[in-house]
Structure 1
Amino acid sequence: MSLEPTPARIAHALREQIITGELAMGSKLNEREIAERLEVSRIPVREALPILESEGFITSQPRRGAVVHILTVTDAMEVFDLRRQLEPMASAFAARRAQAGADVGPMLAALQSAHGGSISDAQSDAPPSTRNSDLHEEIIALADHALLRRVTKLMSGRVRWLFRLTPQRDTAAMWVEHREIVDAIVAGQADVAELLTAAHVERGRIESMPLLEARLPSEAPATKVRRRRATPAAPAPAPAAES
């Protein structure tokens, strides 16, 4: 008998449905419907929603409840701003750890997967954007920096979301950039890995932003507030008859 899924597992399932577009931006999340679809009770669903809200995947709106966040151009720019600062740092840390003898096997396996080689059954259905995200996260894992990992965890979901919105960028040229970054990390060349990653992220910004600007609103649409119907005024009492 399997245990009931935890709120974290439910959050993971909903997060993936949001990233893939199965749950559309702006759509309302109904606890009862989610519970029925995932075959769980409503309690863990209710506990999973704050996890997604803390990650920026949903927002709570008055009278509507939980709604899938509508990504904006500003959101995308902010993700690239953070990536530009954090990912080069992660690559440098990863290179120093590789030089010290850390296991680079998982990162090399993720690189092979991102390039379409040696894909396991679990990865066979994953699109290139997902496998590319996996590689970036393996580099962060290799960096083994606790605070960096906590900060990037909040960012990684948004990165995966944006990658899925720009499949045009899954090209051979990007895979070459990945190979150069990984080669520098394996060789323990921290400065080179840092510079290559910075250039990779910046090139991604230049190529992705026009695509995202064509798909995303510049700002989130204003929340519609229902107006309460005015209660008809009670008729004035008839004047008393004179005696």
Structure 2
Amino acid sequence: MADEMENGATELPAEPLSERVAEVLRERIISGQLPAGGKLNERELAADLEVSRIPLREALPLLEAEGFISTEPRRGAVVHSFTYRDAQEVFDLRLQLEPLAASFAARRVAEGADPAALLEALESARTGVTGAHASGRNSDLHEEIVKLADHHLLRRMTGLMNGRVRWLFRLTPERDTPKMWQEHAELVQAIAAGQPALAAALASAHVERGRHDSLPVLAERLPASADASARRRRRGR
């Protein structure tokens, strides 16, 4: 686990050990280091991460709640296979939640909240727009909007979805373009100006453009459903 931090693969914040373990495993699943359909071997993972099996076992329910793993009879914890239906559902929820978050964030700015952290996240996304970590920085920007919105229930709901959004962004790296940054810039400017209606409209348009551009690509890259994914894995054996 320490080596992973030194190599820059995953930066671990000061959190309970189980959450830190979940963060590392989540990133490995998103990056493909832990392949879809693969079984998580607790003994091997605990040794690799240099932790006991207790925090590892405590981390697994966190990942299952986010949809990254599932527990199967006789197999234990298995990495979820991201499907086209999963991608559709992520966009469905983003279309509902992100305009709401943008509106709340702009309203708070209008009431005196400081948008400095959001503006910093925008600049970080701009400098990384063509880099290897662009998708992660774009995700950070969306999460910063939710933080600024300061709506506890909304934050809990989006928290369960954030990992899958990052997974989705990683699957479509061609979307990380200067055009996307410009969409982000317009959205952040509306929030920073305290314009809730405009911010909500721009967030909705941004997600809808992403859906329109991403789903045809994802239809070619992903199995249609969990059943189709299982059949694909069996053929590959």
Scaled by the length of structure 2, what TM-score is found?
0.87
The CA deviation string for residues 153-185 of structure 1, in whole angstroms up to 9 with x for no partner, is 011110000000000000111111000000100
What secondary structure, in the 3-state scheme, does the structure 2 residue paired with 1:52 have? helix
Q: 1:25 aligns with which of 21, 33, 36?
A: 36
Q: Distance in 2 between matches of 1:195 and 1:13?
A: 35
More helix as a share of residues: 2
What is the Cα deviation at residue 214 of structure 1?
1.0
Q: Which has the larger radius of gyration?
A: 1
What is the Cα deviation at residue 221 of structure 1?
3.1
Q: Which residue matches 2:90? A: 79
The CA deviation string for residues 122-160 of structure 1, in whole angstroms up to 9 with x for no partner, is xxx861000000000000100000000000001111000
What is the Cα deviation at residue 43 of structure 1?
1.4
Q: Distance in 1 between matches of 2:25 and 2:47?
A: 13
Structure 1: 5+ residue runs without aligned partners?
A: 120-124, 225-243
Amino acid of the structure 2 residue aligned with 1:218:
A
Amino acid of the structure 2 residue aligned with 1:172:
P
Q: Which residue matches 2:100? A: 89
Residues 1:56 and 1:39: Cα distance change in structure 2 (over 3 Å): same
What is the Cα deviation at residue 22 of structure 1?
1.1
* Structure 1 residue ranges, 4+ long, deviating more than 2 angstroms after superposition: 2-5, 221-224
The CA deviation string for residues 68-116 of structure 1, in whole angstroms up to 9 with x for no partner, is 0001111100000000000000000000111111111110000000001
What is the Cα deviation at residue 5 of structure 1?
6.5
**Superposed counterparts of 1:158-197, under 5 Å:** 158-197=164-203
Scaled by the length of structure 1, what TM-score is found?
0.85
Amino acid of the structure 2 residue aligned with 1:214:
E
Q: Which residue matches 1:128? A: 134
Q: Which residue matches 1:66? A: 77
Residues 1:82 and 1:38: Cα distance change in structure 2 (over 3 Å): same
Q: Distance in 2 between matches of 1:4 and 1:213?
A: 37
Q: Which residue matches 2:53? A: 42
What is the Cα deviation at residue 7 of structure 1?
1.1
Identity of aligned residues (%): 63
> RMSD across aligned C-alpha pairs, in angstroms?
2.0
Task: Tell whether the 8 Å contact from 1:98 to 1:104 is kept in structure 2 after alignment.
Answer: yes
Q: Distance in 1 between matches of 2:24 and 2:53?
A: 15
Amino acid of the structure 1 residue aligned with 2:36:
M
Q: Which residue matches 1:233? A: none
Q: Does 1:202 align with 2:212?
A: no
Residues matched between the structures, number: 217
Q: Which residue matches 1:99? A: 110
Amino acid of the structure 2 residue aligned with 1:8:
E
Amino acid of the structure 1 residue aligned with 2:51:
V
**Superposed counterparts of 1:210-221, under 5 Å:** 210-221=216-227
Amino acid of the structure 2 residue aligned with 1:209:
L
Structure 2: 5+ residue runs without aligned partners?
A: 3-13, 232-237
Amino acid of the structure 1 residue aligned with 2:225:
E
Q: Which residue matches 1:51? A: 62
